[in-house]
Structure 1
Amino acid sequence: MSTSATIGYQPATEFNPIIINSFKAYDIRGELGVNLDEDIAYRIGRAFAQILLQRYSTADGTAELKNLKPAVVIGSDIRHSSEQLKQATIKGMLDAGIDVIDLGMTGTEEVYFATSHYQALGGIEVTASHNPINYNGLKLVKEHSKPISADDGLAEIQALAESGQFTADNALGKLQLLTDKSAYINHVMTFVDINKLKPLKLVINSGNGSAGPVVDLLIDKLMQAGAPIEVITLHHTPDSSFPNGIPNPMIEANRVATQQAVLESKADLGIAFDGDFDRCFLFDEYGDFIDGSYIVGMLAQAFLNKYPAESIVYDPRVIYNTEAVIHEHNGNAVISKSGHSFIKQVMRDSGAVYGGEMSAHHYFRDFFYCDSGMIPWLLTIELLSITGKTLSALVSGYIKAYPSSGELNFRLTTHDAPTIISAIEVKFSAQNPTKSTLDGLSLNFGEWRFNLRASNTEPLIRLNIESCGDAELLATKIADIQKWLVTQGAIAA
């Protein structure tokens, strides 16, 4: 397929140096027309492809990238701006001389899958996930669906994109449109034993994002195999205007529709997704939202029952329950800095079967060590069926034993995040807590602990507090630290 027949975007003929400040710690995220547009997307695509090809053509790279194809896969979410940004990114990659496989409208995990499935050098998802409608971005992976972070390639891509010093006179790459999702769907289905499923009623809220078509394909597979499930879909049709609000179940107001549907239909489980469905949020049979940290514990236990003595990776924001579950079931607990690029690398290094973050990202060794929003709910319906328990029964023990605050966010008005983190360490120093600076600051006092860290993607500072079975102590510590943060100019977001 010729590039001129399908790509409407035309780049500038000269590339003057610019500053691109939409690069973050492990992806690219910006406000449309401010620090992200088609011209910037073109530069990023061209820089990404040029660097991939340079690695591919070197002697060292040839051994590392053996059997891979000089191609990049790309997909985009449902946002109105995503298709235009994708086309500009594709044009940049084609001009760099690399072949491109356009996957059409996708969730991020489909790009992860396709990068490895098609043996490509890299992959890109155009998405802003749960950010406001005037934002968008790009998530990049390299060979074998490995993450790219600021410390491992992203800064190099940024520097080349900003300089505009692109290699000229390359043979144009070729563009191929491959929108069939069959291989991806079949792979995801390997995570669930359909023969073990019992009758269940599910409410699935796709948030008018990109999840709906994939949910349909998975439900069709389940039904064709005779799975005794009933599914009620909510906000199911992809719609770039997001008529029911930006799909972000971390916002309490966005949970109401799912909660009401669970109660009205007397469903066994509620499931909700963000815009690019790389996160999965669960509601029990009472419509109660289950904090992601308890889902990590639940899935860790399920994996250790299947795969004894395996490693489980988790983030340092909320740890008491996860560590207790792993130790009780004779697993190997491996802590990692928060963020997908860090979790994935630690999983690869440790060979972990599963990794989870309280933010509702769940990672699987058999999914190329990547996160998936579809696999967790399939695992959960299998777990409900095998145990005969409700979701509330599966997690109630966790919640009672290790109550937590959930993530509390604060906007900074006076001091920056490092200043506040340093000050809170001084505040508690006389109590001699166990300290960790793996990710922000974690102070553990034995019966309770907290983690305070700066957001990697937003101008926020994030606080998590938990206790060992003492809800009253937890409430006291939440109130005390919130009050102290206000004195430091931190306002609840």
Structure 2
Amino acid sequence: MSTSATISYQPRTAFNPITISSFKAYDIRGELGVNLDEEIAYRIGRAFAQILYQRHSTVSETHDNDMTNLKPTIVIGSDIRHSSEQLKQATIAGIVDAGVDVIDLGMTGTEEVYFATSHYQALGGIEVTASHNPINYNGLKLVKEHSKPISADDGLAEIQALAESGKFTTDNLSGKLQLLTDKKAYVDHVMTFIDTDKLKPLKLVINSGNGSAGPVVDLLIEKLAQVDAPIEVIKLHHAPDGSFPNGIPNPMIEANRVATQQAVLEHKADLGIAFDGDFDRCFLFDEGGEFIDGSYIVGMLAQAFLNKYPSESIVYDPRVIYNTEAVIKEHNGKAVISKSGHSFIKQVMRDSGAVYGGEMSAHHYFRDFFYCDSGMIPWLLTIELLSITGKTLSELVTGYIQAYPSSGELNFHLTTHDAPTIISAIEAKFSNKQPIKSTLDGLSLNFGEWRFNLRASNTEPLIRLNIESRGDRKLLDTKIQEIKEWLAAQGAVPA
């Protein structure tokens, strides 16, 4: 679908300074009516457009080939939350008031905005989403040219300052609005990641969580059917519904996994797949309904890519590393560690030319997807891998899990001390053991046969703990209990 229109009203010219507290390290997230509303969305849209347009105009004068082919356009999409459409329209109004054109993608997942930003050669892109946050929250995820991330120290603070000040340019220009909701180019690109001729008969349970994933899942299933791929899909919580009748789509919460697990067992499926609200994360369940921790999926996909692309670089985060590093070494890849968080992972991937990057949080990044994360590509790669190997998912990952057991991410609320104090104290606690220390992301202490990472959350008021060992489950359990008891004594309460 494609329609276009010119915004006919005159841009607003008068603004009072305000404070906007919904800016975070990588994006904007806020509580509706508290620190995020249509006025704030308008200001963010206008500031974002003005800064990107001015930057493009300045750089274009230097004939930078990386920028001159860009169009003075911003793409925007929104998830299924009831508040998202209104916030999107307010953001669009701000963009066009800045004299920049807009392509409205309709209801989308975040990765569709990543794709469209590069596909349409736009100045930038915005997804209106709160992902897995409570229903009374929403937010905006921003990218600049070529789908590059924007973070607090790389443009986001500048956007915040301009949005708060309201000192916008007033050239009485008005951008054009075009509605382009056709997903064909995006779906076709996602399908290039697998060889459908290699697919064997598989039964899948796909839980879209009543989020934005359903329509894309339908299109991918249609593509598979067109090539007679023997894939059967049981759809769960499939219809997009902003009231989230089956709970907020967040498979990181154990209670939210039950429906997928039960459906896998009931239908005797080969694989379970679940998404968060904007489907930039993909969660997998094996044929027994067991949830597979994201760090082992990183190892599995690293192996798959190194089989296809020998000696390439693989990027991973420092929270859980033993298994990923072992897989990369075994398959002669180049291991490149990065601070967790999408802006860091993406930059390290670009710098190293890595073919794949993965985080234990179920974010998976792909060089051939503009170095961006996708929730759809991982499950397609997984069904291809199951088909090629003839193994079940449990057979593919059980060896990893036994060789390098881990705690999974344990979250704690801090009631007495702040995160830096806790991290400094735990370093002192173990200093006599002389571990190998890294402060790349929080604190990592490696004792040879076991290690842990303790870091403050970038998005929530939590401290996060991950512990792993080399094949010793008893040692792992002992260290989990020891550190949990120590954290409790410091006033850290399990979240």
| Correspondent of 1:176 among 170, 175, 178 | 178
Letter in 2 for 1:302: A
Q: Counterpart in 2 of 1:112?
A: 114
Q: Within 2, Cα distance between the matches of 1:404 and 1:261?
A: 26
What is the CA distance between 1:279 and its match in structure 2? Answer: 0.2
Aligned runs of 1:158-237 on 2, under 5 Å? 158-237=160-239
Q: Is the 8 A contact 1:11 1:42 kept in 2?
A: no
Q: Within 2, Cα distance between the matches of 1:471 and 1:270?
A: 26
| Correspondent of 1:351 among 344, 350, 353 | 353
Q: Within 2, Cα distance between the matches of 1:240 and 1:61?
A: 46
What is the CA distance between 1:312 and its match in structure 2? Answer: 0.1
What is the CA distance between 1:2 and its match in structure 2? Answer: 3.4
Q: Counterpart in 1 of 2:23?
A: 23
Aligned runs of 1:312-461 on 2, under 5 Å? 312-461=314-463
What is the CA distance between 1:11 and its match in structure 2? Answer: 8.4
What is the CA distance between 1:131 and its match in structure 2? Answer: 0.3
Q: Is the 8 A contact 2:7 2:174 kept in 1?
A: no
| CA spacing shift, 1:11–1:420, aligned 2, 3 Å | farther
Q: Confirm whether residue 92 of structure 1 aligns to residue 107 of structure 2.
A: no
Q: Counterpart in 2 of 1:56?
A: 56
Q: Within 1, Cα distance between the matches of 2:406 and 2:12?
A: 52
Q: Confirm whether residue 156 of structure 1 aligns to residue 184 of structure 2.
A: no
In structure 2, list runs of 5 or more residues that go unmatched.
none
Q: Which SS does the other structure have where 1:58 is aligned?
A: helix
Q: Which SS does the other structure have where 1:129 is aligned?
A: coil
Q: Counterpart in 1 of 2:38?
A: 38
Q: Tell me whether 197-206 or 56-65 shows the greater mean CA deviation.
A: 56-65
Q: Within 2, Cα distance between the matches of 1:62 and 1:457?
A: 38
Q: Which SS does the other structure have where 1:154 is aligned?
A: helix
Q: Counterpart in 2 of 1:302?
A: 304
What is the CA distance between 1:13 and its match in structure 2? Answer: 5.3
Letter in 2 for 1:107: G
The runs of 4+ residues in structure 1 deviating greater than 2 Å are 1-5, 10-14, 59-62
Letter in 2 for 1:245: G
| CA spacing shift, 1:156–1:61, aligned 2, 3 Å | farther
TM-score, reference length from structure 2: 0.98
Q: Is the 8 A contact 2:129 2:139 kept in 1?
A: yes
Q: Counterpart in 2 of 1:481?
A: 483
What is the CA distance between 1:192 and its match in structure 2? Answer: 1.0
Q: Is the 8 A contact 2:315 2:348 kept in 1?
A: yes
Q: Counterpart in 2 of 1:2?
A: 5
Letter in 1 for 2:107: M
CA RMSD of aligned residues (A): 1.2
What is the CA distance between 1:419 and its match in structure 2? Answer: 0.6
Q: Within 2, Cα distance between the matches of 1:61 and 1:286?
A: 58
Q: Within 2, Cα distance between the matches of 1:253 and 1:136?
A: 23
Give CA-to-partner distance per residue, 1:294-347, whole Å, 9 cap, x none. Answer: 000000001001100000000000000000000010000000000000000000
Give CA-to-partner distance per residue, 1:17-49, whole Å, 9 cap, x none. Answer: 111111111111111111100000000000000
Letter in 2 for 1:115: T
In structure 1, list runs of 5 or more residues that go unmatched.
none
Q: Within 1, Cα distance between the matches of 2:274 and 2:85?
A: 24
Q: Within 2, Cα distance between the matches of 1:21 and 1:317?
A: 28
Q: Within 2, Cα distance between the matches of 1:409 and 1:91?
A: 39
Q: Confirm whether residue 67 of structure 1 aligns to residue 69 of structure 2.
A: yes
What is the CA distance between 1:173 and its match in structure 2? Answer: 0.5
Matched-pair identity in %: 86
Q: Is the 8 A contact 2:131 2:278 kept in 1?
A: yes
Q: Within 2, Cα distance between the matches of 1:174 and 1:184?
A: 23
Q: Within 2, Cα distance between the matches of 1:417 and 1:404?
A: 22
Q: Within 2, Cα distance between the matches of 1:237 and 1:430?
A: 56
Q: Within 1, Cα distance between the matches of 2:493 and 2:13?
A: 47
What is the CA distance between 1:371 and its match in structure 2? Answer: 0.2
Give CA-to-partner distance per residue, 1:136-195, whole Å, 9 cap, x none. Answer: 000000000000001111011011001100000241000000000000000000011110
Q: Is the 8 A contact 2:467 2:480 kept in 1?
A: yes
Q: Within 2, Cα distance between the matches of 1:13 and 1:165?
A: 9
Q: Which SS does the other structure have where 1:409 is aligned?
A: strand
Q: Within 2, Cα distance between the matches of 1:14 and 1:443?
A: 53
| CA spacing shift, 1:486–1:183, aligned 2, 3 Å | same
Give CA-to-partner distance per residue, 1:259-313, whole Å, 9 cap, x none. Answer: 0000000000000000000000000000000000000000000100110000000
What is the CA distance between 1:94 and its match in structure 2? Answer: 0.1
Q: Within 1, Cα distance between the matches of 2:162 and 2:57?
A: 18
Q: Is the 8 A contact 2:204 2:232 kept in 1?
A: yes
What is the CA distance between 1:213 and its match in structure 2? Answer: 0.2
Q: Within 1, Cα distance between the matches of 2:231 and 2:116?
A: 29
What is the CA distance between 1:15 and its match in structure 2? Answer: 1.0
Q: Is the 8 A contact 1:11 1:39 kept in 2?
A: no
What is the CA distance between 1:12 and its match in structure 2? Answer: 6.4
Letter in 2 for 1:114: A
TM-score, reference length from structure 1: 0.98
Q: Within 2, Cα distance between the matches of 1:65 and 1:122?
A: 12
What is the CA distance between 1:3 and its match in structure 2? Answer: 4.5
| CA spacing shift, 1:480–1:127, aligned 2, 3 Å | same
Q: Within 1, Cα distance between the matches of 2:244 and 2:12?
A: 33
Q: Counterpart in 2 of 1:147?
A: 149
| CA spacing shift, 1:323–1:452, aligned 2, 3 Å | same
Letter in 1 for 2:319: R
Aligned runs of 1:247-258 on 2, under 5 Å? 247-258=249-260
Q: Within 2, Cα distance between the matches of 1:16 and 1:423?
A: 45
Q: Tell me whether 340-349 or 166-175 shows the greater mean CA deviation.
A: 166-175
Q: Is the 8 A contact 1:127 1:138 kept in 2?
A: yes
Q: Confirm whether residue 272 of structure 1 aligns to residue 282 of structure 2.
A: no
